[in-house]
Amino acid sequence: MARQSLGSDHHCGNLSGGNFSCLTGYCGTGKVECDWYSPTSTTLVEFQLDGSQGMDFYVLSLVNGFNLPILVVPEGDSRDNCTSVRCVADLNERCPSELRVTTAGGERVACKSACQAFGENRYCCTGEYAGHDKCRPNQYTQVFEKACPEASSSLHDRAASLVSCAGADYTITFCPSSNAR
């Protein structure tokens, strides 16, 4: 398989039959476009624009893992709860060895979620651990929470990480400097 780098964190190529594949940020469909989300070790910002009562809602999510730092800055709404969120830490370097995604040459390109790595109910918040009252932080989500406290690292903290704005414009910066506002 021929690989090409689309940036330091994305190692992609075409599989046999022309199917697209990446080590991280890949939809899992063989296509470049995603229908919904990427199941593979990806830093996500999830938006619901013009939702209830015209409000926008967004959350910076590490629930599916981490592949690159990100900064979201809303502009045009002065409410206290319409705030910037960031995850500027390099979690690829801090990632526990059992969650690391690496190239064949050993370069760290992403950090899996514990759910993705182990597939166990306690890490995926499924089965007997389904629901916010039963889904608890664990040693892996705590690594993400410590490095990026503004991000949601599991279903238990998702509501607390939700930002709401009205009529804002959003600037999203991939790989911002560590002192980004």
How would you write the pLDDT of the chain (181 residues) with one tens digit per residue? 233 333 333 466 665 566 766 777 766 677 766 665 555 788 989 899 988 888 999 999 998 899 999 999 999 987 778 999 999 999 999 999 999 999 888 999 999 999 999 999 999 889 999 887 888 889 999 999 999 999 998 776 666 678 999 989 999 999 998 766 5
User: What end-to-end distance do the CA atoms of the chain give, in Å?
Assistant: 40
Q: Which sequence spans correspond to the domains of the chain?
A: 39-174
- Cβ atoms of 176 and 86 closer than 8 Å: yes
Token readout for 48 is 């619901």
- Coil vs helix vs strand at 31: coil
pLDDT of residue 72: 96
What lies within 8 Å, CB to CB, of 24 at 6+ separation is 9, 10, 11, 40, 41, 42, 65, 67, 101, 109, 110
> What pLDDT digit, counting tens, does each position of 26-52 carry?
666 777 666 655 557 889 898 999 888
Q: Write the burial class of residue 10 (CB in 10 Å: 0-12 exposed, 13-18 middle, 19+ buried).
A: middle
Report domain 39-174's class.
mainly beta
pLDDT of residue 174: 92
pLDDT of residue 5: 32
